[in-house]
Amino acid sequence: MNAPALSPAPSPATPRAAHLVYAFLLAATGLTWFLGETGAAGPAVMAVLMGAALLKGLAVAGEFMELRHAPRLWQAVVAGWLFFVTGCLAAAYLA
Amino acid sequence: MSTESLALPATTGTAPPERRLAGDLAIWVFICAELLAFAVFFVAYGVARARHVDMFNTGQLTLDRNAGALNTVLLITGSWFVVQAVARLRGGDPGGSAGRLLLALACGGGFLVVKVFEYKAKFALGISLSTDTFYMFYISLTFFHLMHVLLGMVILALLWNSLRRGPGPTTLSSLESGAAYWHMVDLVWIILFPLVYVMR
Amino acid sequence: MPFQSQGVAKYYFMAAIALFAGQILFGLIMGLQYVWGDFLFPAIPFNVARMVHTNLLIVWLLFGFMGGAYYLIPEESETELYSTKLAMLLFWVFLIAGALTIVGYLAVPYATLAKYTGNDLLETMGREFLEQPLITKVGIVIVALGFLFNITMTVLKGRKTAISTVLLLGLWGLAVFFLFSFYNPVNVVEDKFFWWWTVHLWVEGVWELILGALLAFVLIKVTGVDREVIEKWLYVIITLTLVTGVIGTGHHYFWIGTPEYWQWWGSIFSALEPIPFFAMTVFAFNMVNRRRREHPNRAATLWALGTGVMAFLGAGVWGFLHTLAPVNYYTHGTQITAAHGHMAFYGAYAMVVLCMISYAMPIMRGRAANSNKAQVLEMWSFWLMTIAMVFITLFLTAAGILQVWLQRVSDTPLPFMVVQDKISLFYWMREWTGVVFLIGLVLYILSFFVKGEEQAKAA
Ligand code: HEM
Ligand code: HEM
Ligand SMILES: [Fe+2]
Does residue A83 belong to the interface with chain B, where contact is any CB pair within 8 Å?
no
Residue nearest to atom 15 of ligand 1 (CA): C128
Rounded Cα–Cα distance for residues B28 and A94 (Å): 33
Ligand nearest to the CA of C247: 3
Crossing angle of helices B53-61/B133-164, nearest 10°?
50
Please report the pLDDT score of residue C1 as a whole number. 82
> Residue B58 domain-assigned?
yes
- pLDDT at position A1 over 60: no
What is the residue type of B113? V
% residues pLDDT > 70 (chain C): 98
> Ligand 2 pocket test: which of C53, C310, C318, C395 has the largest number of ligand atoms within 8 Å of its C-beta?
C53
Please report the pLDDT score of residue B4 as a whole number. 39
Candidate from B47, B87, B191 with C-beta closest to A53: B191
Residue B3: count of CB within 10 angstroms of its CB: 12
Q: What is the CATH number of the domain that holds B76?
A: 1.20.120.80
Q: Which of residues 155-184 of B touch A (CB under 8 A)?
A: 176, 179-180, 183-184
Please report the pLDDT score of residue B159 as a whole number. 96
Q: Are B65 and A33 in contact (CB under 8 A)?
A: yes
Please report the pLDDT score of residue A52 as a whole number. 97
Answer whether B touches A (≥3 Cβ pairs < 8 Å): yes
Residue C93: count of CB within 10 angstroms of its CB: 15
- pLDDT at position B6 over 50: no
Tell me the pLDDT band of A7, cut-offs 50, 70 and 90.
very low
Rounded Cα–Cα distance for residues C83 and C52 (Å): 32
SS (H, E, C) C226-245: CHHHHHHHHHHHHHHHHHHH
Q: Are A55 and A28 in contact (CB under 8 A)?
A: yes
Please report the pLDDT score of residue A95 as a whole number. 86
From the list B50, C134, C413, the residue with the least C-alpha distance to A91 is B50
Quote the DSSP letter at residue A68: G
pLDDT digits (tens, 9 = 90+) for C253-279: 999 999 999 999 999 999 999 999 999
Q: ipTM, 2 decimals?
A: 0.87
Tell me the pLDDT band of B168, cut-offs 50, 70 and 90.
confident
Cα C312 to chain center, whole Å?
14
Q: Domain coordinates of chain A in residue numbers?
A: 15-94
From the list C31, C34, C96, C26, the residue with the least C-alpha distance to C56 is C26
Rounded to an integer, the average pLDDT of A13-41 is: 94
- Read out DSSP for C35-83? HSTTTTTTTS-HHHHHHHHHHHHHHHHHHHHHHHHHHHHHHHHTS--S-
pLDDT digits (tens, 9 = 90+) for C87-111: 999 999 999 999 999 999 999 999 9
Q: Are C340 and C389 in contact (CB under 8 A)?
A: no
Instruction: Find the chain B residues whose C-beta atoms sit closer than 8 A to any C-beta of C.
Output: 1, 3-4, 6-7, 9, 24-26, 29-30, 33-34, 36-37, 40-41, 44, 48, 129-130, 136-137, 140
Q: Determine whether the shortest distance from the Cβ of C400 to ligand 1 is under 6 A.
A: no
Rounded Cα–Cα distance for residues C339 and C398 (Å): 9
- pLDDT at position B14 over 70: no
What is the residue type of B28? W
> Residue B184 domain-assigned?
yes
Please report the pLDDT score of residue A11 as a whole number. 47
Rounded Cα–Cα distance for residues B62 and B200 (Å): 13
% residues pLDDT > 90 (chain C): 95
Please report the pLDDT score of residue B65 as a whole number. 96
pLDDT digits (tens, 9 = 90+) for C46-90: 999 999 999 999 999 999 999 999 999 999 999 999 999 999 999
How many structural domains does chain B have? 1
Rounded to an integer, the average pLDDT of C357-379 is: 95
Q: Are C261 and B136 in contact (CB under 8 A)?
A: yes
Residue nearest to atom 15 of ligand 2 (CA): C50
- pLDDT at position C435 over 80: yes
Rounded Cα–Cα distance for residues C386 and C357 (Å): 16
Q: Which domain holds residue B79?
A: 21-198
Tell me the pLDDT band of B127, cut-offs 50, 70 and 90.
very high
- pLDDT at position B62 over 70: yes
pLDDT digits (tens, 9 = 90+) for A40-79: 999 999 999 999 999 999 999 999 999 999 999 999 999 9
Q: Which of A9-18, B26-35, C81-90, C183-192 is the least confident region?
A: A9-18
**All domains of chain C in start order, with CATH:** 237-450 (1.20.210.10)
Rounded Cα–Cα distance for residues C311 and C315 (Å): 6
Q: Which of B164-173, C176-185, C254-263 is the least confident region?
A: B164-173
Q: Ligand 1: which atom is nearest the Cα of residue C245?
A: 27
pTM for the whole structure: 0.91
From the list C242, C269, C358, C239, the residue with the least C-alpha distance to C307 is C358
- pLDDT at position B129 over 60: yes
What is the residue type of B22? A
Rounded to an integer, the average pLDDT of C31-35 is: 96
Please report the pLDDT score of residue C459 as a whole number. 41
- Helix-, strand-, coil-residue percentages of chain C, each rounded to 5: 80, 0, 20
* Strand partners of residue C457: C367
Averaged pLDDT of chain C: 95
Please report the pLDDT score of residue C451 as a whole number. 81
Please report the pLDDT score of residue A47 as a whole number. 97
- Ligand 2-lining residues (CB < 6 angstroms): C 24, 27-28, 30-31, 34, 50, 53-54, 57, 337-338, 341-342, 345-346, 350, 431, 434, 437
- Phi/psi for C235 (5° steps) reads -65, -45
Please report the pLDDT score of residue C186 as a whole number. 94
Please report the pLDDT score of residue C454 as a whole number. 56
Cα A51 to chain center, whole Å?
9
Rounded Cα–Cα distance for residues C348 and C61 (Å): 11
Please report the pLDDT score of residue A12 as a whole number. 57
Q: Which of residues 49-68 of B touch A (CB under 8 A)?
A: 49-50, 57, 65-66, 68
Rounded to an integer, the average pLDDT of B80-87 is: 96
% residues pLDDT > 70 (chain B): 92
Please report the pLDDT score of residue C242 as a whole number. 93
Please, how many CA atoms are within 13 Å of residue C117, restricted to the half-sphere of its CB? Answer: 25
User: Any idea what the Cα angle at residue C404 is, between residues C262 and C55, rounded to 5°?
Assistant: 70
C197 CA to middle of ligand 2, Å?
21
Rounded Cα–Cα distance for residues B32 and B37 (Å): 9
How close, in Å, is residue C236 to chain B by CA atoms?
7
Tell me the pLDDT band of C453, cut-offs 50, 70 and 90.
low
Quote the DSSP letter at residue A69: G
Please report the pLDDT score of residue B17 as a whole number. 59
- pLDDT at position A10 over 70: no
